[in-house]
Amino acid sequence: MQKETLMPTYMKNFSCIGSACEDSCCVGWRVTLDKKTFKNYKNLKHPVLGKKLNDSMKRIKNGTSSDSQYAYFVMDDHKRCPMLEESGLCGIQATIGEEMLSATCTTYPRVINKVDTNYEMSAKLSCPEISRLALLNPEGIEFEHTEYDMNSAWGMNNDFLDSSKSENGENLFWPLRMFTIGIIQNRSLELSDRMIFLGIFINKVQSLIDSKEYNKIATVIAEYKSKINNKEYIASLMNIKSSPELQLRLVVELIQKRNVSGGEVPRYLESYIDMCKGFNIQEKETFDLEKLKITYKENYSNYYKRFNEDYGYILENYLVNYIFESLFPNIKKSDIFNHFTRMSVLYSMLRIHLVGVAGYHNGLSEEIAIKVIQSFARVVEHNMFYLNSITDSLQQSGMDTLAHIVSLLKE
Ligand code: SF4
């Protein structure tokens, strides 16, 4: 059905590359099934597929079960979906048709949101094809409203009816969202300084939300629009000191928590091992932070800096995609600074991976960067447990304040 849809222009060029995909979405993670699909598969009378489906499905029986998360496929010994054929094609799609796929399989990698009456569609960077289309555009991500043929089987990620209205009835979601994306795409600043500027702005807006002074938010947006063009204010951001200690603590956290971070996904594991080699560290060794600091700085100035100068748009596009698909900043949720902290941690973790991998490869190409970012998105962005454990440890040690996040972000 044709729907007026807001989407990044890269979506128009997406189609699944199937068996040519270097990291099939049918390998390495749990494929969930909605209730309707589960029942369809249970009742399927197909000589081969019927039994195979029945043997492979398992009901979710704990508190997380719902109509959309009703059952799942048990992966085979190689962590592959049991329906995946040797050819790399999906056995269900090939045998009984695409319309029999579950909502999860049909929708992925698309992210569909509805803001008030409008549909929005973007996609997860954990799909390598999406990563290439979204990240490798030097001009930056652009958006367009278009009539799009929305598949009615696609699952909705978020439905925010009236989400854009604050308590005083003013529409604040759009001005906040547009200004946020504008900050991240403002190339007169270093990307880390754009993130710092955004953090200061979001912190200010959060304080107005906390005190229910919604009527002041529009004025603050206008104030910060002027600040971003104020040379003295911007120069003061340049003088902020980075905190290599805090950034390296994150490296250590990453390594210590790796076992729950998706070591099962071979493509991520390869990048992870490259990062460790780039930092000259063994996973199980006791960390010598001083040594790590020296290696980090060497990798940064010898290899990462050059990558950042040549391909800075890649991480900018990563952040813009994240902001759009996660509906940031949604003031209805009242925790926009927490959401910003999470985005900052993702960005910082990604930069650490890239600095380490750059050290191992003596530089970074587009291809290597895409592999790191796509596989990182797959195991970290999709693993709330892991991401929460990183942000929780920042919180527990009081490192989740604006001052700490700023020094984590600073190059
Ligand atoms: S990850 Fe993307 S390109 Fe690869 S098989 Fe899945 S949808 Fe297709």
Q: Give the three-state DSSP class for 32.
A: strand
d(CA 111, ligand 1 centre) in Å:
14
Could you tell me the distance, in angstroms and rounded to a whole number, from the CA of residue 222 to the centre of ligand 1?
42
Residue 78 to residue 333: CA distance in whole angstroms: 40
Do 348 and 384 belong to one domain?
yes
Centre of ligand 1 to C-alpha 108, Å, is 8
Residue 172's pLDDT is 87
At 274-301, the pLDDT tens digits run 999 999 987 666 678 888 889 999 999 9
Same domain, 297 and 258: yes
At 4, the amino acid letter reads E
Alpha helix segments (H runs only) across 167-257 = 173-184, 191-210, 217-227, 231-238, 244-256
Highest-confidence segment of 316-320, 341-345, 403-407: 316-320
In whole angstroms, what is the distance from residue 318 CA to residue 381 CA?
12
- Exposure string for 341-357, b = 16+ CB within 10 A, e = fewer: bbbbbbbbbbbbbbbbb
pLDDT digits (tens, 9 = 90+) for 1-20: 899 999 999 999 999 998 88
CA of 125 to the centre of ligand 1 (A): 10
SS3 (DSSP) at 28: coil
Q: 116 — alpha (psi -120 to 50), left (phi > 0) or beta?
A: left
Q: Please compute the mean of the pLDDT values over residues 230-238 and round it to a whole number.
A: 89
Q: Is 293 exposed, middle or buried (0-12, 13-18, 19+ CB in 10 A)?
A: middle
* pTM check: above 0.85: yes
> Cα–Cα distance between 338 and 289 in angstroms, integer?
28
CB atoms under 10 Å from CB of 245, counted, come to 10
State the pLDDT confidence band at 265, using cuts at 50, 70 and 90.
confident
Measured in Å, residue 203 CA sits from the centre of ligand 1 at 37
Please list the alpha-helical segments (H only) found in 114-172. 128-135
pLDDT of residue 162: 61
Residues 387 and 313 in one domain: yes
Tell me which of 76, 107, 138 is where a domain ends: 107
Which ligand 1 atom is the nearest neighbour of the CA of 88? 5
Going from the Cα of 126 to the center of ligand 1, the distance in angstroms, rounded, reads 9
Nearest protein Cα to ligand 1, atom 2: 127
Classified as helix, coil or strand, 159 is strand
Which residue reads 């979001």 in tokens? 202
Residue type, 363: G
Task: Say how many Å lie between the first and final Cα of the chain, rounded.
Answer: 46
**Which residues form the domain of 373?**
244-409
Pocket test for ligand 1, best of 11, 16, 375 (most atoms within 8 A of CB): 16
- How much is the pLDDT for 332? 78
Atom 1 (ligand 1): residue with closest C-alpha? 127
Domain shared by 83 and 208, yes or no? no
Q: Which of residues 87, 107, 127 is at a domain's end?
A: 107
> Ligand 1: which of 23, 87, 102, 375 to mutate, judged by most atoms within 8 Å of the beta carbon?
23
Ligand 1 atom closest to Cα of residue 109 = 7
- Bridge partners (DSSP) listed for residue 143: 8
Q: What is the pLDDT of residue 380?
A: 84
Same domain, 221 and 340: no
Spatial distance between the Cα atoms of 184 and 192, rounded to a whole number of angstroms: 9
- Residue 145, beta-bridge partner list: 6
Residue 17 lies inside a defined structural domain of this protein: no
Do residues 187 and 326 both lie within one domain? Answer: no
Ligand 1 pocket list (CB less than 6 A): 16-18, 21, 24-25, 108-109, 127-129
Same-domain pairing of 208 and 309 = no
- In-domain check, residue 117: no
Q: Is the distance from CB of 215 to CB of 167 less than 8 angstroms?
A: no
Same-domain pairing of 356 and 385: yes
Residues 31 and 98 in one domain: yes
| pLDDT, tens digit, 9 for 90 and up, residues 14-64 | 999 988 899 888 887 778 899 999 999 999 999 889 999 999 999 998 777
Is 121 inside a domain boundary? no
Report which protein residue has its CA nearest ligand 1's atom 3. Answer: 16
**Residue 234 domain-assigned?**
yes
Q: Cα 308 to the chain's mean position, in Å?
A: 19
The closest residue, in CA terms, to atom 6 on ligand 1 is 25
Looking at the structure of the chain, the number of domains it has is: 3
Distance 129 CA to ligand 1 centre (A): 7
Look at the block and give the residue holding tokens 């994150």: 250
Q: What is the pLDDT of residue 372?
A: 97
CA-CA distance, 7 to 142, in Å (whole number)? 8
Of 32-36, 137-141, 262-266, 269-273, give the range with the top mean pLDDT: 137-141
Lowest mean pLDDT among 15-29, 297-311, 353-367: 15-29
Q: Are residues 277 and 366 in the same domain?
A: yes
Is the Cβ–Cβ distance between 279 and 244 less than 8 Å?
no
The residue behind tokens 């992210």 is: 111
Domain membership of residue 233 (yes or no) is yes
Ligand 1 atom nearest the C-alpha of 129 is 3
Q: Is residue 78 part of a domain?
A: yes
**Residue 7 one-letter amino acid:** M
Pocket test for ligand 1, best of 13, 19, 21, 154 (most atoms within 8 A of CB): 21
Q: How confident is the model at residue 193 (pLDDT cuts 50, 70, 90)?
A: very high
